[in-house]
A and B are shown apart, each in its own frame.
Chain A
Amino acid sequence: MVAGLSGLGSPRVRLWIAFGAVVLVLCWLIRTAVIHASSYYLTVDELAKKGQAAVGKPWTVSGTVVGRSVRWSPARETLVFDMQDESGHAKLHVVFRGPKPDDFDRGWPLVVTGTLRADGTFNAQQLLVKCPSKYEAKSGTYTAVN
């Protein structure tokens, strides 16, 4: 191995070659990974505005759970709910197969990643719920007494 490399000049040159190789491989890795693992980050309203153009593509959508719409079927392990964003104009009907996270039904923010179907249902592959009140307590938990 050492003998094989000795033709390539000084150690500095060899290290720079290694540097170039690592950077090239890294760029290639990042490029492939970004193509396969990236999705556009939208709010519910922004996705709704895209209309039919959004169907069939991967998206990451943020919004809040509409508390009353949550339907959890433990037997089928399917979670169905609506989400909307702060503007509240549009609702997105989401179907997620997987365990229901705790603390799901309080209207706290979440992010879903998945694809939009032609019937307007969002098939979520991944669902992330914020861990509650790490830095901010929810408002209105204490009440003033006159």
Chain B
Amino acid sequence: MGALGAAALRGLWLVGWLSLVVHAWAAWSRGRAGKRLRRAALWAQFFLAALACASLVVLLVREDARYAYVAEYTGPGLPVLYRIAALWGGNAGSLLFWTALITLYGAVMAWAQPRDGDDRAFTWAGGVLSAVAFAFATLLVFAANPFVRLPGPTASPVSASGGLSPLLQNPGMAVHPVDVYLGLTGMTVPFAWGVAGWVLRLPEDEWFPVVRRWTLVAWSFLTIGMLYGARWSYEVLGWGGYWAWDPVENASLLPWLSATAFLHTAMAQERRGMFRRWNAVLVAVSFWLSLFATFLTRSGALWSIHAFASSRLGPWLLVVMLVFAAGAALAIARVWRSLTPRARIERVLSREGGVWLNNLLLLSALATVLCGTVLPWWSQLVAGRSLTVSAAFYNAVNAPLFVCLLLGMGLAPWLAWRQMKRDDAWAWIARAALFALVMGLATAASLHAVYRRSPWLAVAALTAAWFVIASAAADVYRSLRSAVSSRRGAARADRGRGSALALWLWLRAHRRRIGAYLVHVGVAVCAIGVAASGAYHLEVQRVMRPGAQLTVGRYDLTFTGLGVTPGQRARTLYANVLVARGGRVLGVMQPSATFYPDGTPPLTRVAIYSEPWSDLYLVLLGTGDGGSAVLDAHLNPMVAWIWFGGEVLLAGSLLCLWPKTLRVPVRSPLRRAAVAGTVVLVILAAAGGTAWGAPRANTRPSASARADMRVPRLDVVLIPAPVRGVMDVVERMQVTNRGSEPRSIRLALPGDSRRVTVNPGHWRWAGVQGGMKWIEVAPGVSPGATAAETVTYTVPYSAAGTALSLTTAYDADVIRLFLPEGGWFVSAEGLLAATQTTAMGGTAWRVYTRLSQPGGVPWVVHVATMPHPFFAPTPAGLPVLGRVAGAQVDVWQVMGNLGWITAVIALAAWGTWSSRRRSRSSAEDPGEHAGG
């Protein structure tokens, strides 16, 4: 299978060459030659890239550890979904996936090209697509081949976390990289058609709609990709919330900003022939920025939380970037003079003026983000010292820009070409503004009531966002009212059907406008979420003993005890936190930590209870004595609005992509079935997307169950009955003497410990102090040597757990503690470095840690050994609230995302096909063309 993949990769490179030659030949003969051959070359490239991907996936799923890539990114016990996701989990694999996506776009373009007639434009577009795919195939074959075999047969590591880092084993891994890659590679398509248009100086309506449509495709993939990434980052502790202005995040934001700018000016070019030079620049810049993003991610040139490899790809990618930048510059320079605007801006308050201002603001944001991202290089070059900016820089500059953008978006519905829309536009703007002011202030006031602050910029952003929503709604209302009333007159015979038909006709006629409004409203809803969660926030950390209470905003939290989920691969320690609001119990939240037996550090799993007005975000930071937990509770307002806004935005972009004619472009039943399948996938996408956007993981108790759950049940349900017993504690210590002479270990045993046995002659009683029995163990080890000592004692335990203190004067490397069956390592106050638990012959658990303390200063270590009955199970009868991050793979989300991807690409291809047919027939009939 690996040989097949490697062969497919080499084939891809060869076919890439052939494709370039065929396209060049066809361009030479003005598009008449090799029509079938060109199409076949594009299809073959996709086929070979897909074959290589499939081979790698098979290797990953089968865990064929003879291949370096497989050995690095998989391990036993890794779920199948993450094995597949490991395709884009590593450098070489993700580059292969990237190349496959470019060839996918090539194949789709070949499909969307009508088979008859003149296709000079496609000669160049296909040529550019082939060239980009060929460039990446070259990198794959010569610099980052995923099919490299290891020198000898290998044994895969026994890794409980399964090779792929546990942090990456998150549902986000199955969707976020795919969408971002689709977005970044998708910028190639508009660029390819742009080059074709510029080089051949074709009439604009032959190629420009394709550029606009496919920019929209790439743009919507980038948007959803960034949102998925934001959500993933939000659910993982320590990744800085949903957006950290990390260089790689910025790298995907940059082409998104330029593409957004282009989508607005493209409208002005289509309708009024304006911004023609500017649009050419934006198309090229968006493509170039997507290459720049690849460079940033893979060159190791900048530091990022997305762990760039300092791989060999950097110089290669730089060459690719320079070649395409030079090519684009030449192509644009060739047509620069002919790209004169056909109209000028007549009034500032017109759609043209609005688009102009929109571009100014977006490009300002782009410049800011770009400056901040490359500042470390630039300052090194200019001043010789590397200067970085923090997230505060980006926020300070971008926040005012985005408030202005929102205000502009609010005005947008009232701007027509050349002038303001109607006579009564100002009256409507005043109404919308008044509504926005009321809603903005109300939102700010309700936030102030909980969070006790009112930053003016956040209040301005909230008001501006409400203005966008109010304006769009008002214009839709006006437009719909007039459409329905005029139609109703015509179909007076059947009023109900008349209205429905009118609505349908109206939606069809205005789909792009309604789509754009939906996108604007989605952005505004996201903005509300970002402004609220960015400016208002509550955070409390507390060490809580069982039964302790904590109030966060309107929520009352009661910690009732720790619990353990047993497992072969990993065990999860969770805290039961009872959540109540207004005296009513809502349920239990279980923030947790997963421990792996192989030494992989424990992974914290955040519990999030999401409601429209706030997210309750609980983190189990650690545990303390007596079964206490260190909890970190956050109240993040309105975060769910960001995800919901994303859904609205997606619906809007789908509507914008809906082709003008709904004619199915095929006659054969098989192809019609394919179209029907696409429709089903669209529905799946909608369903999956809704499932993703909705806070569905919040299992809400039924109304009757809620009535049952008035507070008094607390004591009954949650505190487990005390369990008493006796256990043997066996501590085996391996102590390395790193000092100059042997010293003794002071070991504190629980005050009620009995039957102490240690190697005779190696220990003596040191007395009783602070409720502990102290012994001194002196193994008599010479410097540099290691001694093993076994201390056994019996202690009674109770529900309060058993704590063990250990003081060592040694510079000890490893201390191993053998705990009784079912014992659980809980607390590590002062116990540091690696902590591991390992099954030992099915009878005991081993916990050990590395200690290092220069200068012989004693450490005090508390280890609680807690048998199972100590832990409180999930309280019966209460629902578990909130999503626990990364706990399970969400099949709906993956299916929904796949459906959505298919829907977007299919709609865009369909639209391209029909528009290309139209433009071809209109080109054949100049009269119709002039009339259009």
* Residues in A lying within 8 Å of B, measured CB to CB: 2, 5, 11-12, 14-15, 18-19, 22-23, 25-26, 29-30, 32-34, 36-42, 60, 62, 67-75, 77, 99-106, 109, 111, 113, 126, 128-137, 141-146
What residue in chain A is nearest B70 (Cβ atoms)? A142
Contact of A41 among B246, B349, B386 (CB under 8 A): B386
What residue in chain B is nearest A62 (Cβ atoms)? B303
What residue in chain A is nearest B65 (Cβ atoms)? A142
Bits for B168-199, please: 1 = Cβ < 8 Å to A, else 0. Answer: 10000000000000000000000000000000
Main secondary structure of the interface of A (DSSP, over half): mixed
Contact A130 B307 (CB under 8 A): yes
What residue in chain B is nearest A129 (Cβ atoms)? B238
Give A81 to B403 CA distance when docked, in angstroms: 41
Question: Is B855 among interface residues, defined by CB-CB distance under 8 A?
Answer: no
Contact A60 B309 (CB under 8 A): no
Given contacts A135-B311, A137-B90, A144-B154, contact A38 B387 (CB under 8 A): yes
What residue in chain B is nearest A146 (Cβ atoms)? B152
Q: Count contacts on B: residues with CB < 8 A to the other chain.
A: 93
Contact of B604 among A33, A102, A137 (CB under 8 A): A102
Closest chain B CB from A25 CB (angstroms): 8
Interchain Cβ contacts under 8 Å between A and B, 30 examples? A11-B353, A12-B345, A15-B345, A15-B356, A18-B348, A29-B400, A33-B389, A36-B393, A41-B386, A67-B850, A70-B833, A74-B621, A75-B543, A101-B238, A102-B236, A103-B167, A104-B601, A105-B601, A105-B834, A109-B303, A111-B303, A126-B390, A134-B89, A134-B306, A137-B163, A141-B157, A142-B68, A142-B150, A142-B156, A145-B153
Contact of A22 among B353, B364, B541 (CB under 8 A): B364
Given contacts A68-B833, A72-B832, contact A33 B297 (CB under 8 A): no
Contact A2 B630 (CB under 8 A): no
Q: Which residues of A contact B298 (CB under 8 A)?
A: 135
Given contacts A142-B72, A142-B157, contact A40 B543 (CB under 8 A): no
Q: Which residues of B contact A73 (CB under 8 A)?
A: 829-830
Bits for B121-163, please: 1 = Cβ < 8 Å to A, else 0. Answer: 0000000000000000000000000000011111111010001
Q: Which residues of A contact B65 (CB under 8 A)?
A: 142
Contact B165 A133 (CB under 8 A): yes
Given contacts A101-B237, A102-B167, A145-B154, contact A2 B349 (CB under 8 A): yes
Q: Which residues of B contact A144 (CB under 8 A)?
A: 150-154
Closest chain B CB from A35 CB (angstroms): 10
Closest chain B CB from A146 CB (angstroms): 7
Q: Which residues of A contact B632 (CB under 8 A)?
A: 77, 99
Given contacts A72-B828, A99-B237, A134-B89, 17 further A-B contacts (CB under 8 A): A11-B347, A18-B357, A22-B360, A29-B396, A38-B393, A42-B386, A75-B624, A102-B167, A102-B238, A103-B601, A131-B165, A134-B306, A134-B307, A135-B306, A144-B152, A145-B152, A145-B153
Question: Is B410 among interface residues, defined by CB-CB distance under 8 A?
Answer: no
Closest chain B CB from A10 CB (angstroms): 9
Question: Is B239 among interface residues, defined by CB-CB distance under 8 A?
Answer: yes
Contact B239 A131 (CB under 8 A): yes
Closest chain A CB from B886 CB (angstroms): 11
A99, A109, A143 — most chain B CB neighbours (10 Å) = A99
B164, B353, B397, B852 — most chain A CB neighbours (10 Å) = B397
Give A73 to B344 CA distance when docked, in angstroms: 66
Q: Which residues of A contact B166 (CB under 8 A)?
A: 102-103
Contact A113 B390 (CB under 8 A): yes
Given contacts A101-B237, A132-B167, contact A141 B71 (CB under 8 A): yes
Closest chain B CB from A141 CB (angstroms): 5
Contact of B297 among A34, A128, A135 (CB under 8 A): A135
Give A126 to B389 CA distance when docked, in angstroms: 12
Give A144 to B154 CA distance when docked, in angstroms: 5
Q: Which residues of A contact B851 (CB under 8 A)?
A: 68
Closest 10 CB pairs of A and B: A74-B622, A101-B238, A137-B72, A37-B393, A74-B630, A37-B392, A136-B309, A41-B386, A142-B71, A33-B396
* Residues in B lying within 8 Å of A, measured CB to CB: 65, 68, 71-73, 89-91, 94, 150-157, 159, 163-168, 236-240, 244, 246, 297-298, 303-309, 311, 344-349, 353, 356-357, 360-361, 364, 367-368, 371, 375-376, 385-393, 396-397, 400-401, 541, 543, 601-604, 619, 621-624, 630, 632, 828-830, 832-834, 850-852
Give A4 to B41 CA distance when docked, in angstroms: 61
Q: Which residues of A contact B349 (CB under 8 A)?
A: 2
B297, B390, B623, B852 — most chain A CB neighbours (10 Å) = B390
Contact A11 B71 (CB under 8 A): no
Closest chain A CB from B401 CB (angstroms): 8
Contact A33 B397 (CB under 8 A): yes
Contact B850 A68 (CB under 8 A): yes
Contact B619 A99 (CB under 8 A): yes
What residue in chain B is nearest A1 (Cβ atoms)? B349
Give A42 to B304 CA distance when docked, in angstroms: 15
Give A83 to B306 CA distance when docked, in angstroms: 20
Closest chain A CB from B308 CB (angstroms): 6
Q: Which residues of B contact A72 (CB under 8 A)?
A: 622, 828, 832
What residue in chain A is nearest B173 (Cβ atoms)? A134
Q: Which residues of A contact B603 (CB under 8 A)?
A: 102-103
Q: Which residues of A contact B376 (CB under 8 A)?
A: 41
Q: Which residues of A contact B834 (CB under 8 A)?
A: 67, 105
Contact of B630 among A5, A75, A145 (CB under 8 A): A75
Give A84 to B767 CA distance when docked, in angstroms: 42
Contact A67 B833 (CB under 8 A): yes
Given contacts A104-B601, A134-B307, A135-B94, contact A41 B71 (CB under 8 A): no
Give A132 to B630 CA distance when docked, in angstroms: 25
Contact of A103 among B152, B165, B389, B829 (CB under 8 A): B165
Closest chain B CB from A139 CB (angstroms): 9
Give A133 to B162 CA distance when docked, in angstroms: 13
Q: Which residues of B contact A100 (CB under 8 A)?
A: 238, 621-622
Q: Which residues of A contact B348 (CB under 8 A)?
A: 5, 11, 14-15, 18
Contact A135 B154 (CB under 8 A): no
Contact B386 A40 (CB under 8 A): yes
Give A130 to B72 CA distance when docked, in angstroms: 18
Contact of A130 among B304, B543, B630 (CB under 8 A): B304
Closest chain B CB from A31 CB (angstroms): 10
A25, A42, A128, A145 — most chain B CB neighbours (10 Å) = A128
Q: Which residues of A contact B367 (CB under 8 A)?
A: 26
Closest chain A CB from B715 CB (angstroms): 26
What residue in chain A is nearest B165 (Cβ atoms)? A132
Contact of A69 among B303, B364, B604, B852 (CB under 8 A): B852
Q: Which residues of B contact A129 (CB under 8 A)?
A: 238, 305
What residue in chain B is nearest A72 (Cβ atoms)? B832
Give A99 to B632 CA distance when docked, in angstroms: 8
What residue in chain A is nearest B630 (Cβ atoms)? A74
Contact A130 B305 (CB under 8 A): yes
Contact of B309 among A103, A111, A135 (CB under 8 A): A135
Closest chain A CB from B767 CB (angstroms): 28
